[in-house]
Structure 1
Amino acid sequence: MHMKITAMSRPLRRRSTLLATVLLASGLPVATAVPAGAVQLAPVRFTLPMPTGRQRVGTTSLHLVDTSRPDPWVPDRPVRELMIQLWYPAAAIHGYPPAPWLTPAAARAYEQANGLPVFTWPITAARLDAPVRRHGGRRPVVLYSHGLGGHRGDATALVQDLASHGYVVVTIDHIHDAGVVELPDGHVETGAIPDLAEDNEIELTSRAVRARVADTRFVLDQLAAINHGENPDHEHRSLPCGLRGALDLDRVGMFGHSDGGTTTAHAMHTDFRITTGINLAGTLWTPEAAAGSHRPLLQFGKQDLDPLQATTWAAFRTNHHGPTLQLHLAGSTHASFEDFAVLVRQAAPQLGLTPDQITEVVGTIGGQRAVGVVPAYVDAYFDRYLRHDNSHLLDGPSARYPEIRFVL
């Protein structure tokens, strides 16, 4: 089935710039989020839910440079740069510092770009450069692609939960598609994709997805090099002890939110190294994404799909020849699948957001509940197809998670 995507009347609010999205959706002007002269509340340390698995978590970041292609958004950059972050079961955590959700330079750039006050962003459950736990053999690998304008930390609660259950998760910053990315020399790259409008949304988004798929192929190549003992980090910074040979690249999954979900479906169509995928609330913008594959892909959506999104998901169901499942999260919105489902409520006092404004953005399910339900089904899906471990959670409705609606 060939599907041609055409523009439809809808609000263009797909940029995943965390709290800036909250302000836009609630009608508050981003540049004046905190009025002059307003009482400044003492910053509260934002927190994320702790991982539910038994494994302690380590993390490390790498700066990758693909010399075979230019940057897709900045014409005078002759090479494509990426930042990736590996999250993995750790053998030990004592003496290794906790990893921040955003680096300090990226956090300040993020706040400045979005007219936000200085926040005290979360500290993750992972420890920087902790040694890799090798007990249990090689680990299945899962890639993560963020939404348009987001960053690799947007789904940290979900990512570190997967790592605590024994996965190696690789989060990708698609530089200049991402909102803010700090490079090892300390400078911060910001988004360079032109603003979306009705007459360019499809063309720009399709172009972005294709660039992201090329990023994904390159990252998989570099993971193979790491597994063989090479160090592809551009600055040749030391890699964590035990990383060599720890990756099972015959068991590779991928997931992403919004345009990251589109990237997942497209990449699965073109790269057979990715054996399992999950699309979190993404419209399938490209023909390749909607064409499906012969491998399992979970479509995990908000309570009510947008019209165009529903059309692309229906096309996928027709085209796809592998196992598939479609779930909807009752009471949710597009934002319920990321960390800011919980962070927005914590930021509300400083931003002056009302309960109704919070609900408008993250839905009636509540952030804490959303970030409890979503990982359970993401874990179960990857467990079924990457580990052949069936918990039966995916067999049908569960009294434990009544918010999940099975569509297919």
Structure 2
Amino acid sequence: MPIPTRARTTNRRSTGAALAGVAAALTALPAAPVAASATPATAASAGRAAAGAPVQVALPAPTGPRPVGTVALRLVDRGRKDPLAPSKPYRELMVSLWYPARATTGLPVAPQMTAGAAAAFDRDTAPDLGLKPGEVAWAATRTHARAGAPVDTRAGRLPVILFSPGFEAPRTLSTVLAEDLASRGYAVVTVDHTYEAEQVEFPGGRVETSRLPVVRTPEEQAKLFSVLLPARVADLRFVLDRLADLDRGTGPRDAAPLPDGLRGALDLSRVGAFGHSMGGSTAAQLAHDDRRVDAGANLDGIVFDPVASTGVSKPFLQVAGGTTTRASEPSWKSFWEASTGWKREARFTGTQHFSFFDLQAMLPQISAELGHPATAETIGTIDPRRSVAAQRAYLAAFFDLHLKGRRTPLFDGPSAAYPEVRLIP
């Protein structure tokens, strides 16, 4: 996951300087200065930290009316070689499907991260956040979804929303938005882009880590991105193909058992896509390339060519953190001017680029427990609860409007309920 101040050791896939350049190209949007503030630890939490017990964090509960179920699936595209692992004759992905559920009592609550992925995250990614291995019990964080719960068919056929994470990021760090949309009546599919993501755990405990090449020059960066973006879009198009199979009841042979009620539950005539950072550009390109996708949203990501120049003709929402605007980010300006469909830009005051991860909810808890300074440079100065609530409200309102035809006033002008959000004319 690209933290702008990260440093890497040379025994991994790149030097610190090289990856810092990649991260800067992807995420270092202009940001307003923020005042660092401390979140004091309580005596109990300070004692826990001193005793060496790892911190456990909780995710905010979904706000929709329905319980949530989830299932993780391995999907294999045997018609495509892996672009980052040329020796592999196929491309394999891990995805999570989130959906409205019924009869959840007694079923296990799904973890945010599986054990193997959590261990790799603790080793390889947590240090980028200024955390030492073992300080946080990543595997202990629970979602609010029941693993394998039956689909609630009373919700009707479910519009489908695809999610693509940021550069190197795992799908699991966007659980807060995914399960909230599911609780509101959507089938949400979060996708790991294997060998770009820092860690992906497959069935049986096999963990695949990033195989990104060493990048030393801007030309090498451009070449890398020209490989990654088409690969991401191809991943999402393949997932859409497989969702059609799932809806017919013909799921992957080696996958986990499919939840009861899934067959016939997916409405693939209503499809949306969104993503954070590079995932936002992926969603835009997918909306441009695939006629099955009806609407898309970008959470604070630079938009890459070709879609930065062509724009889209479908409804699209640009969500801005910090000072991101068409004036500050050229790709947003070109994308906006070329796009001919319904379009809005919404700036979330007081946020930063990583406010649109689960980190918005998690890091304040970690800081309080460990007595670390608050991470305003990473997740902004906005109240974390307000930030999460506003993100959920605007994302749901956008998809409700364009996938369900539900009128919303949120995009007409300032909202008294969410004064932190400003629509950019």
Q: Same fold (TM over 0.5)?
A: yes
Q: CA RMSD in A?
A: 2.2
- Decide whether the 8 Å contact of 2:168 with 2:196 is kept in 1: yes
What secondary structure sits across from 1:71 in the alignment? coil
Deviation track 1:212-234 (CA, whole Å, cap 9, x = no partner) reads 000011000000011111012x5
Structure 1: state its 5+ residue gaps: 1-9, 18-25, 27-37
1:210 aligns with 2:230: yes
Seq. identity, %: 43
Cα 1:161/1:290, change in 2 over 3 Å = farther
Separation of aligned partners in 1, 2:24 and 2:72: 26
1:127 aligns with 2:132: no
Higher relative contact order (CA 8 A, sep 6+): 2
Q: Which residue of 2 aligns with 1:33?
A: none
TM-superposed CA distance for 1:136, in Å, is: 3.3
TM-superposed CA distance for 1:13, in Å, is: 3.1
TM-superposed CA distance for 1:373, in Å, is: 0.9
Q: Of 65, 75, 85, which aligns to 1:74?
A: 85
Separation of aligned partners in 2, 1:59 and 1:275: 24
1:99 aligns with 2:110: yes
Separation of aligned partners in 2, 1:248 and 1:349: 43
- Decide whether the 8 Å contact of 1:40 with 1:350 is kept in 2: no
- Decide whether the 8 Å contact of 1:260 with 1:279 is kept in 2: yes
Cα 1:11/1:307, change in 2 over 3 Å = farther
TM-superposed CA distance for 1:154, in Å, is: 1.4
1:390 aligns with 2:425: no
Q: Which residue of 1 aligns with 2:302?
A: 283
Cα 1:249/1:363, change in 2 over 3 Å = same
Amino acid at match of 2:243: L
What secondary structure sits across from 1:395 in the alignment? coil
Q: Of 143, 163, 166, which aligns to 1:144?
A: 163
Q: Which residue of 2 aligns with 1:300?
A: 319
Amino acid at match of 2:23: R
1:177 aligns with 2:196: yes
Amino acid at match of 1:311: P
Amino acid at match of 2:289: T
Cα 1:334/1:392, change in 2 over 3 Å = same
Cα 1:128/1:309, change in 2 over 3 Å = farther
Cα 1:400/1:314, change in 2 over 3 Å = same
TM-superposed CA distance for 1:206, in Å, is: 2.9
- Decide whether the 8 Å contact of 1:176 with 1:191 is kept in 2: yes
Q: Which residue of 2 aligns with 1:23?
A: none
- Aligned positions of 1:235-274 closer than 5 A: 235-274=254-293
Amino acid at match of 2:237: R
Structure 2: state its 5+ residue gaps: 1-19, 28-35, 37-48
TM-superposed CA distance for 1:348, in Å, is: 1.9
TM-superposed CA distance for 1:288, in Å, is: 2.5
- Aligned positions of 1:2-401 closer than 5 A: 12-13=22-23, 39-114=50-125, 115=127, 116-118=132-134, 119-121=136-138, 122-199=141-218, 200-232=220-252, 234-305=253-324, 310-348=329-367, 353-355=372-374, 358-401=375-418
TM-superposed CA distance for 1:349, in Å, is: 5.0
TM (norm. structure 2) is 0.84
Separation of aligned partners in 2, 1:14 and 1:88: 35
Amino acid at match of 2:330: T
Amino acid at match of 1:368: R
